[in-house]
A and B are shown apart, each in its own frame.
Chain A
Amino acid sequence: MLRVLKAGFYTTVQDSGRFHYRNKGVPVSGVMDEMSVFKINSLLENNESAAVLEITMTGPTLIFEEETYMALGGAKMSATLNNLPIKNYKVYEINVGDILSFGRLEKGFRAYLGVKDGFTTKEVLGSKSFYKPITKANRLADNDMVPFEVQKLFRPKISEIKVSSFLDDSVLEVGKGPEFDMLNDKQLEGIFSKTFTVAHENNRMAYQLTETIETHSISMLTSATIPGTVQLTPAGKLMVLMKDGQTTGGYPRVIQLTDKAICILAQKKGGDSISFKLL
């Protein structure tokens, strides 16, 4: 068990997502930054879908009540284990009573904590990922307990990896969305020549961008959307749907982020700059 002493700003359990219910309107959810989590789970020799904690902006304070092995990744948040600084993408052996805490957000926006074999919270509709009202809670609260299996005898094949960080990247590679061809030259130029600012309205459902492009009156029937879909509202605002984003929408889906671009954006916060590059 992991006891949450302080929950931090927005800490959730996430795995690779909730599949096969999108036709009933259930978002896929799952970790926002798949690339960072893939590395953590690889280091811990976990299944790809092992559940981790997704830690947003301000980290929690956590006490391990059982032995395990852990690794951090994603954002850099000045993490300490029993008050000693620790590194991302390195396996640490955990003893009963060890305290993990986080300090200043140095870079990125979402950090991830993985443990050997993953967290074992209850699955709802085939996934452990938090999403209210599918799961009871939308995030962890103070004094919550997060279960995992005790692990005392793990000998990691690789105990540490150097990763080429994408936390400084700001160019999001995109493909054409289904309504791309409805854009006029001015709108195209707007999308691909401007630098956009991430608005403070950004969360696991969607990232809004502050700058607008030319307005439109394109009318379409509601149709499916996926994580990374960029919708253009009639007022000319761009809205990037993320992992908890709605499964259908009625706004033109003008561009589509690559899987990597979703990870890059997931590490951005309000005020950060991004731009789009068409593949």
Chain B
Amino acid sequence: MNSPKIHIKPFGVHSVLIEWSNEVSEIILEKILHFERFLSREVFSNKEWELVPAYNSLLLINRTKQIDFEKISNDINNWYTQLKESPKPDRYLWRLPVSYDAEYALDLDEVAITLHKTKEEIIALHTGVTYTVYGIGFLPGFMYLGGIHKDLELPRKATPRPKVVKGAVGIAGKQAGIYPQESPGGWNIIGNCSVPIFDATKENPCFVSVGDKIQFYQVSKAEHNLHKIEAEVGIYKPEKIKIDA
């Protein structure tokens, strides 16, 4: 099979950007992650390089040195065309509990009215699909989730909130996500997830990686509070299923 085309651009003197075609596609994401894995294992195994994948792009950053753009472009093209089938990285489906209780679901009523549905229907749509993590950014541990049900698509709020609480579960446009910490935010908030997505005290501070899958399931407020306490003392582990992609 021919690999999807890449386009290589300079981005400052320390980095180079590799772009695939401008679309949200699991096939492209798979290719990016395959290439990322190859590069980080075979080429950039030293600590000088960082690789940042997102949607249709992969940024290679050198920590200190200036990059010779012509040379690295040639190398990237060669590496990419020679990219062989290699073992796929371990990929996980994470099942995350969400309380849609009115205390957390600040915009659920409004979302239901806007979309001409009941709250239960909104929850069923939100929990009924499997999301793909297309990127992590904006905040430490903030996942850009693709795969939202088309009946749940609605614009972000006209006026962003100055403060959205940690764990807030939001939707906006074609995206879903969880605020990993308190921050300003413009997404529609329909629930709260008690599992901390980001924990700086851990060696791997964020258990999710780009390419992983996410499912949400509904829990009561009581279960939510229990999970929250369990998470605080470090005994709650989110449910994880290995995917054979």
Interface of A toward B, CB cutoff 8 Å: 19-27, 124-125, 133-135, 175-178, 220-224, 226, 228-229, 246-249, 253, 256-259
A249–B10 Cα gap in the complex (Å)?
17
Judge whether B144 and A222 touch: CB under 8 Å.
Answer: yes
Is residue B52 contacting chain A, with contact meaning CB distance below 8 A? Answer: yes
A residues in contact with B140, CB < 8 Å:
21, 24-27, 133-134
* B17 adjacent to chain A (CB < 8 Å): yes
- Interface of B toward A, CB cutoff 8 Å: 9-15, 17, 19, 22, 24, 47, 50-57, 59, 61, 63, 134-142, 144, 180-181, 198, 200-201, 205-206, 209-210
B2 to chain A, nearest CB (A): 22
**Pick from B13, B19, B55, B61: contact of A175, CB under 8 Å:** B13
Q: Is the CB of A133 within 8 A of B52?
A: no
Q: A134-B200, A221-B22 are in contact. Are A175 and B59 (CB under 8 A)?
A: no
Which residues of the other chain, A, contact B56 by a CB distance below 8 angstroms?
Answer: 221, 223
Can you show 5 pairs from A to B with CB atoms below 8 A apart?
Answer: A21-B140, A26-B205, A221-B22, A226-B15, A258-B12
Residues of B contacting A223 in the complex (Cβ-Cβ under 8 angstroms): 17, 19, 54-57, 59
Given A20-B47, A21-B205, A248-B135, A224 and B200 touching (CB < 8 A)? no
Tell me what chain B mostly uses at the interface: helix, strand, loop, or mixed: loop
Please tell me if the beta carbons of A224 and B52 are within 8 angstroms of each other in the complex: yes
Which B residues touch A220, using CB under 8 A? Answer: 22
The chain B residue sitting closest to A136, CB to CB, is B200
Which residues from chain B contact A25 at a C-beta distance below 8 Å? 136-142, 180, 198, 206
Contact of A224 with B54 at beta-carbon distance under 8 Å, contacts A24-B205, A247-B137, A249-B137 already known: yes
Q: Is the CB of B200 within 8 A of A125?
A: yes
Name B10's contact: one of A20, A175, A222, A248 (CB within 8 Å).
A175
Q: Do A224 and B63 have beta carbons less than 8 Å apart?
A: no
Q: Provide the residues of chain B in CB contact with A20, threshold 8 Å.
A: 47, 50
A-side contacts of B206, CB under 8 Å: 24-25
Whether the pair B57, A221 counts as a contact (CB closer than 8 A) is yes
Taking the closest CB of chain A, its distance from the CB of B203, in whole angstroms, is 9
Does B11 lie within 8 Å of A178, measured CB to CB? yes
- Chain A residues whose CB sits within 8 angstroms of the CB of B52 once the complex forms: 22-23, 224, 247-248
Q: How far is the CB of B221 from chain A (nearest CB, A)?
A: 25
For B201, the closest partner residue in chain A by CB is A124
- A contact residues around B144 at 8 Å (CB): 222, 248
A101 to B109, CA, bound (A): 55
Q: Are the C-beta atoms of B11 and A253 separated by less than 8 Å?
A: yes
**For A133, what are the chain B residues with a Cβ–Cβ distance below 8 Å?**
140, 181, 200
Q: Please, how many angstroms separate the alpha-carbon atoms of A181 and B12 in the complex?
A: 15
Q: Are A226 and B198 in contact (CB under 8 A)?
A: no
Q: B57, A175: Cβ atoms under 8 Å?
A: no
